[in-house]
Amino acid sequence: MSTTNSKPRRAAAVPSSRLSRMASLTGLAGRVAGNLVTESGKHWLRGERPVMSELLLSRKNLEQVADKLARMRGAAMKLGQLISMDSGALLPPELAAVLERLRDDAVIMPAAQLVGVLEANWGEDWDQRLAQFSFEPVAAASIGQVHKGRTHAGRALAIKIQYPGVRRSIDSDIDNVVSLLRLSGLLPRELEIDALVEEAKHQLRLETDYLHEQQQLLGYAEALVAFRHRDALALPGVDTELSTEQMLCMDFIDGVSLEHAAERQPDLQHHIPALLLELFFCELFQLRCVQTDPNPANYQYNLEQDRLVLLDFGAVRHFSTDFVHHYGRAICAATDRNADELAAALETLGFFSQRHDAANRQVVLEIFMEATEPLRTPGPYDFGQSDLAQRIHERGMAISSDPEAWHTPPADVLFLHRKMGGLFMLAARLGARVDVHAIFNHYREQL
């Protein structure tokens, strides 16, 4: 496992107790309110009537919210990432942009706090466990940061170390963040995200158990033998003796970011998205277990071995045979533009609520069919020139204009859409041309 990040990293202690984490959010709410009063006064002095929504979405408020969530890391930051990924079309664009920023934030633990985590997991003589340990992290994410180490036997390791207090504060963190966003007006009160919030809590409990992720990695590697392009992938092995619930020790595999790889070798801008999309369809329809986090930082590319490196397995999600059958039925119907068959399949999946009126139901079907455009387009689909994301966003706004009619799909569907949407966005960012039609048809024939 390896990662590169050119952004300078800030060091800031992670608040580790529930009280300190709650105080951080309470203080933030006070600052948001203070900014609101100050800006409102400026408008009145200029003889202008202040617009509350514009004041709440001021640059200063948004930056303070993003900065605080980044410093807290953990569930607070993860929820921001989930909301931006799954509900982006329903959020004010200013807030969506701030939450998007959280995916790439690079705040790290100071050395003293890092040593405390090492001692808590490996004992006071933790430094005897390894021949070498680098205090400068090679990556920092929402629930942990990664350091390079070397065993006495010479094995190079990527050691993922979880931030203190993250696991035991999941429920309170997420509840407090949702309350903050709603009270400040940054999250529309009428937007129903209860199901997403509960799923975020469940997902975080799994992702903060690194022994669980270790088992997911081992199981995923075993299942991946069935993938026809297995040799094009590199997965790290794990050191089961050194790993704990809060520290995951994996092989360090050299690699560069996907964008950097595409810059170095232009053909990779098409090859990488094609490989990831094929892996996704194999995961879903053949293996029935999908790594559902589409963050590009979860992948790297080893240029010497010409292999895609898979890094993160905390978000691997398993699906039942029945679910895969019905979802496959839905995606095939959408690809064929068969609205009746699609509606029946989505009903079976529990996609609609009783509150949906006929108009919104039709919009949902249209969005689903719109999203499968790359799957039904013969030949290479040009993601770089496509306006697919904009078209889906515009259709989504037709639903968000009446939030009472919106129904959050089942969690399994949300996570699949999150992954597929993320892969489409990556392909667009790289300017990829991919024959998704041919890739999908290969797996469709096996359904």
Residues recognised as catalytic: 293
Rounded CA-CA distance 447/248 in Å is: 36
The helix/strand count (H/E) of the chain reads as: 18, 14
* Contact of 103 with 135, CB cutoff 8 Å: no
Task: Return the closest-CA partner of residue 287 out of 221, 203, 202.
Answer: 221
The residue written with tokens 């129903």 in the block is 192
Tell me 407's DSSP state.
-
Tokens 């964008």, residue located: 259
β-sheet bridge partners, residue 132? 150
Q: Which residue type sits at 145?
A: Q
Q: How many CA atoms lie within 13 A of 6 on its CB side?
A: 4
Nearest CA among 149, 135, 203 for reference residue 2: 149
CA distance 370 to 261: 30
Residues 369, 342 contacting (CB under 8 angstroms): yes
Q: Which DSSP letter does residue 283 get?
A: I
